[in-house]
Amino acid sequence: MNDQQIQITTASRLAHTQEYYFSRKLQEIDALNKAGKQIINLGIGSPDMPPPPAVVAALADDAALPNAHGYQSYKGLPALREAMSAWYARAYGVTLDPNSEVLPLLGSKEGIMHISMAFLEAGDEVLLPNPGYPTYRAAAELTGATLREYDLTAETGWLPNLAALAATDLSRVKLMWVNYPHMPTGTHATETELQALVDFALAHNILLVHDNPYSFILNDNPTSLLSVPGARGCVLELNSLSKSHNMAGWRVGMLAGRADLLQDVLRFKSNMDSGMFRPVQQAAVVALGLGEEWFAELNAHYRARRERVFALLDLLGCTYSCDQVGLFVWAAVPEGYADGFAVSDRVLYDANVFITPGGIFGSNGNGYIRISLCQKVEVLDEAIRRVEEAL
């Protein structure tokens, strides 16, 4: 048998890109579970509840048709684009042309890469929030662009200091990532604060990309950045059915904004996939037509869960804001711990409960932890019991 192996080096673009934190951590948790630990995972924001039965039925009904299984349009079904446009009008008061101003995606996460690859290259600079979603950084690194972090801190209410940014050289900045309601801190930006972001982008010729998947979770005022005056000139917005409709694994997202910019993104996207499975699109049409009662019921579950997470944080001695929104709770670590990694490790190894260290979202998150609301109240009560016994 010939055991000869060729030697292949990875592309230089991967030099600074590591495996996603949760990918590595889930492997560790899997090993602990195989050792009999039965870890309670409070780290990942993967909704544990299903979408409504009517959505599942629409998927099954269309999948049963013999002509449902071929390649689909890169732009999605007209019915899906129309449903997305109608949802934006109803939910946010934003009018979108379904033929040119909304682009279905295989989840909004792929949109982060598509946008980055369509607009960024070596020599460009991109503004990234610290703390912020790690995928913004990973996608930017792969383009060869220069990364520039902007600070979000408790002292600034987890909002950017735009005046300080404006005082720097922004001549090479091409794109800025923003995300409100913010993950991981749960900050909800006001209309005034959103207007300031748009004015800043227009003044400095920056493409402002708003990642908006959390607007319907524990939030009394869902808002699209595209509703802000002037936003149509400089804003692209990502959205998703993952959190709002319990369809994370279905991979249904969308990109909304200027038709010419969406066409640029489509030039890249059309070389990366062959369209979304038609039964998933038909089911998404049904999901996008759900009324206020769906969101009221969904948020009733999350509200009850959040109260139990608050109790867990009280037990740990953490401090937090009760006003945060979205699918997580963000909390400062108690005195006596070096950072969120220390709290996370102690709770994992002593109590068999995993919570996310805030430092994975950037250096400004080092003194924090994040807990997901994607576990039932009974599971959260068991986590509280375990932590109480371990302390």
pLDDT tens, residue by residue, 57-86: 999 999 999 999 999 999 999 999 999 999
Q: What pLDDT is attached to residue 19?
A: 66
Question: What are the average pLDDT values for consecutive 10-residue runs of the chain, which has 391 residues?
Answer: 79 71 78 89 93 97 96 95 98 97 95 97 97 96 96 97 98 98 97 98 98 96 97 98 96 97 96 94 98 96 98 97 96 94 94 95 97 98 96 83
Name 149's bridge partners: 128
Q: What pLDDT is attached to residue 15?
A: 72
The answer to whether residues 177 and 136 touch, using CB atoms and an 8 Å cutoff, is yes
Q: What pLDDT is attached to residue 22?
A: 67
pTM: 0.94
Q: What pLDDT is attached to residue 314?
A: 97
